[in-house]
Structure 1
């Protein structure tokens, strides 16, 4: 019995420091936020129990309903964009033989830059007299107000976030591509399968675990996007980029309504969980 328990106990000791940090900085704050959402918590530390009043307040809050719609639209635009960019660049890097490390570093470079710095640079690019409109003017195209049009602001912000964040997912997918045995692809090539058939029948099924990880990570990232929006639009124009996470910031750090801010955070947590489970179910169905 002692010999049988030695390996699990040894493994537990190795992961214990990270497990303790995870409990302190992830689980306990989440439980604390769930409890705070049932209270009217003031900045002074005084609080009173209000039960489900904060959740009932959500249904009558037009800002919440609008921010929920904006968040879902942003996620629907950002996630396919960043996953396709990561998958495309991973496939290209997997095929490159010459100077592969240099190309990998160049494509990963935006990921290590600051969100604030990226937002400032891209805000200048998107401005009415900025770089992008300057290029459009040379092509005799009228200037476009990318950050001042309600219909354009979310795609513009999603493009910036995708440019900034696709490098991490690219490396995950590239590692997944490297794990696929070359003999599978060579056998398919000998059997006459073209590039699309090899990708669809061999690469994509074997890449599904890495793809699921990327989808979940990027979905969570999309729901939590704040820095870019704060720097570039401040939730405007006319709250066209006012997301749930921005609403949490306003309620908590502008109006100091911590109970209601915690309620929005719990709703955001539940929304991310549901979307992740749906993604998992869809990918599991594709494996059958």
Structure 2
């Protein structure tokens, strides 16, 4: 018994520091938010238990449903765009032989910059007299008020977030590509398979675990978007970029309704968890 317990206990000791941090900064705050959502906690620290009143209020709150719609539309734009860009750049890097490390560092560089810095740069690009409109004017297609258009603001923000964050997913997919045995590709070439046939029949099936992981983390990221919106649009124009996280920020730090803000947060947590489980059920079979 002592021999059988030695390895699990040793492994537990190695992960214990991270486990403690996870409990302190993840599990306990989540449980605290769940409890706070059942109160009317305010900025003075005063609170009373109100039970499910906050959830009833949220159900009848048009701002919540509008922000949920905006978040879903943003996710529907951002997630496919980021997965495709990450996959494309990973395939290109996998094919590069000369100066691969330099190209990988250059593509990963936006990921280590701050969202605030990225938002300021892209806000200048999108401005009426910015770089984008300067280029569009030269080809008689502009100027376009991107951040002032309700129909263009979400795609524009998705592009910014994709540029900022695709580097991480690119590295995950590149690692998945490196794990594919080269003998498979060589055998396919000998059999006369084209590049598309090799990608469809070999690369894509063997890359499914990495793709599933990337899809899940990018979906979660899309529901947590805040920094870019705070810096670039402030939820506008006319709340066209008013996401769930921005709604939580307003309820908590503008109106100081911490209990109600926690209610928004718990519903967001449930939505993200449900979507992740659905993705695992239908897309992650045998891939995790």
What TM bracket, shorter-length normalisation? over 0.9
Deviations 1:134-189 (A, max 9, x none): 01111112311100000000000000000000001000100010011001111122
Counterpart check, 1:157 vs 2:157: yes
What residue number does 2:260 align with? Answer: 260
TM norm structure 1? 0.98
Deviation string, structure 1 residues 209-242 (Cα, Å, up to 9, x no partner)? 1111111111111111100000000000000000
1:87-102 residue pairs with structure 2 within 5 A? 87-102=87-102
SS in 1 for 2:141: coil
Alignment map for 1:130-149 (pairs within 5 Å): 130-149=130-149
- Offset from partner CA, 1:20-79 (integer Å, 9 cap, x none): 000000001001101111111111111111111111111211110100000000000000
Corresponding position of 1:248 = 248
**How far is 1:9 from its partner?**
0.4
Aligned to 1:71: 71
Residues 201-212 of structure 1: pairs in structure 2 closer than 5 A: 201-212=201-212
Counterpart for residue 195 of structure 1 = 195
C-alpha root-mean-square deviation of aligned residues, in Å?
A: 1.1
CA apart distance, 1:206: 1.1
Partner of 2:236: 236
Partner of residue 127, structure 1? 127
Give the count of matched residue pairs: 287
Distance, in Å, in 1 between the alignment partners of 2:55 and 2:201 is 46
CA contact (8 A) 2:212 2:284 kept: no
Consecutive unaligned residues in structure 1, runs of 5 or more: none
Q: What is the CA–CA distance in structure 2 between the aligned matches of 1:183 and 1:43, rounded to whole Å? A: 63
1:91-127 superposed Cα distances (whole Å, 9 cap, x missing partner): 0000000110111011011111111011001001001
The corresponding residue for 1:9 is: 9
Determine the C-alpha separation between the residues in 2 that align with 1:280 and 1:199: 23
Residues 180-205 of structure 1: CA deviation (Å, up to 9, x unaligned): 10011111222222111111111111
Q: Which moved more, 1:122-131 or 1:40-49?
A: 40-49
TM-score by length of 2: 0.98
Question: Residues 209 and 284 of structure 2 are in contact (CA less than 8 Å); yes or no, is this contact kept in structure 1?
Answer: no
Distance in 2, Cα, partners of 1:24 & 1:211: 30
1:186 and 1:277 mapped to 2: Cα distance?
37
Cα distance in 2 for partners of 1:35, 1:59 equals: 18
- Between the aligned partners of 1:284 and 1:83, the Cα distance in structure 2 is 16
Structure 2 unaligned segments of length 5 or more: list them: none
CA distance in 1, matches of 2:26, 2:285: 31
Match of 1:111 in 2: 111
Partner of 1:83: 83
Q: Distance in 2 between matches of 1:189 and 1:124?
A: 48
Counterpart Cα distance in 2 of 1:239 and 1:100:
43
Following superposition, the deviation at residue 286 of structure 1 comes to 8.8
- Supply the distance in 2 between the matched residues of 1:142 and 1:194 (Cα, whole angstroms): 41
